Chains A and B, each alone.
Chain A
Amino acid sequence: MDPVAVPVEQGLALAAILFSIGLTGVMVRRNIIIILMSVEVMLNACALAFIVAGAKWGEADGQIMFMLILSVAAAEVAVGLGLLLQINRRVGSIDIDETSRLRG
Chain B
Amino acid sequence: MSDQQLVAILPHILLSALILIQMMVIAFARNLVTTVVISIIALVLTGLAFIPVHSLIPIVVTPLIVLDGYAIFYSGLILMSATAVTLMAYDYFKDREERQDEFFMLLLLATLGALILVCSSHFASLILGLELLGVSLYTMISYPRKGLLTLEAALKYLILSGVSSTFILFGAALIYAISGSLGFAELATIGSAENGTGELFLTAGSALIFGGIMFKLSLTPFHMWTPDVYEGAPAPVTAFVATVSKGAIFAISLRLFTSSGLIETSSILTGLSIVAILSMLAGNLLALKQDNVKRILAYSSIAHLGYLMVAFIAAGMVGGGMVGGKVLAFEASSYFLFAYFITTLGAFGVVTIVSLRDHEKDAGDISNYEGLFWHRPLLAIMFTLTLLSLAGIPLTVGFIGKFYIFTAGVTTTLWLLLLTVIAGSGIGLFYYLRIIFAMTKRTDASVSEIEIPLAGGCAVAAISAAMLLFGIYPAPVINLINNLIA
Contact = CB atoms under 8 A, between A and B. Distances in A.
Whether A and B touch (Cβ < 8 Å) is answered with yes
A82 B453 CA distance: 33
Interface stretch (B174-182, B246-254, B384-392, B459-467): B174-182
B159 interface: yes
Listed from nearest, the 7 A-B pairs whose CB atoms lie closest are A49-B173, A53-B177, A46-B169, A102-B228, A42-B166, A39-B162, A57-B180
B163 A69 contact: no
B154 interface: yes
A30 interface: no
Interface in A50-90: 50, 52-54, 56-57, 59, 61-62, 64-65, 68-69, 72, 75-76, 79-80, 82-84, 86-87, 90
Given A65-B182, A99-B152, A43 B166 contact: yes
A82 B102 CA distance: 15
A17 interface: no
B169 A23 contact: no
Contacts of B177: 8, 12, 49, 52-53, 56
Interface in B136-151: 138-139, 142, 145-146, 148-149, 151
B131 interface: yes
Nearest to B160: A26
A69 to B, nearest CB: 6
A32 B155 contact: yes
B292 interface: yes
Contacts of B154: 83
A35 B227 CA distance: 21
B159 A39 contact: yes
Nearest to A79: B138
B171 to A, nearest CB: 9
Contact of A72 (B123, B127, B174, B290): B127
Nearest to B156: A102
18 contacts: A12-B177, A26-B163, A39-B163, A42-B162, A43-B165, A43-B169, A46-B169, A50-B172, A52-B173, A53-B176, A57-B180, A59-B180, A62-B176, A80-B155, A87-B155, A90-B146, A91-B148, A102-B228
Interface of B is mostly: helix
B68 interface: no
A101 B152 contact: yes
A25 B154 CA distance: 20
B169 A83 contact: no
B422 to A, nearest CB: 27
Contacts, number: 133
B166 A19 contact: yes
A90 B148 contact: yes
Interface in B306-341: none
Nearest to B291: A104
Interface of B: 123-124, 127-128, 131, 134-135, 138-139, 142, 145-146, 148-149, 151-156, 158-159, 162-163, 165-166, 169-170, 172-174, 176-177, 180, 182, 227-228, 231-232, 290, 292, 295
B250 to A, nearest CB: 21
A29 to B, nearest CB: 11
Contacts of B134: 76
A102 B261 CA distance: 40
Interface in A1-33: 8, 12, 15-16, 19, 22-23, 26, 32
B155 A45 contact: no
Most chain B CB within 10 A, of A26, A43, A61, A99, is at A61
B127 A50 contact: no
Contacts of A49: 169-170, 173-174, 177
Given A15-B173, A65-B127, 6 more contacts: A43-B162, A46-B170, A72-B128, A83-B142, A83-B158, A91-B148
Contacts of A103: 228
Contacts of B138: 76, 79-80, 83
Contacts of A87: 151-152, 155
Contacts of B292: 104
A76 B155 contact: no
A53 B169 CA distance: 12
Nearest to A103: B228
Contacts of A32: 155
A39 B142 contact: no
A46 B173 CA distance: 7
A52 B172 CA distance: 12
